[in-house]
Amino acid sequence: MSKPGKKLKFEQAMERLDAIVEAMESGQIGIEESIAKYEEAMRLAADCREILDEAEQRIKKIQQDATGRLRTEPFEPEPAAPADDENAE
């Protein structure tokens, strides 16, 4: 379990979240341990949201327009293209 006060890097937190979900879905842990893991997962999810929010703010600060002037705009990722793998022959 992660120590209180020590934040993991985003990738480490996501790996830990995956491990928690896997343990809970296995059905081989008791109710008390499931509750403890759920609480840890909620803390990790909040940490991940905070990291992503900070990254978004950094992106807003460094975007430039065509003239090279820095500007602040909300970051909106381009929509993902639909996967055509299923229909490929």
Q: Tell me how far apart the 2 most distant CA atoms of the chain are, in Å.
A: 60
pLDDT, position 5 = 52
User: 0.75 cut: is pTM over it?
Assistant: no
End-to-end CA distance of the chain: 47
CB atoms under 10 Å from CB of 13, counted, come to 20
List the chain domain ranges: 10-72
**pLDDT at position 29 over 50:** yes
- Beta partners for residue 64, in sequence order: 70
The mean pLDDT of 3-14, rounded to a whole number, is: 79
Percent of the chain's residues with pLDDT above 90: 47
CB atoms under 10 Å from CB of 50, counted, come to 12
Read off the pLDDT of residues 32-64 as tens digits, 9 standing for 90 and up: 999 999 999 999 999 999 999 998 888 777 776
pLDDT, position 61 = 73
Spatial separation of the C-alpha atoms in residues 7 and 4, rounded to whole Å: 8
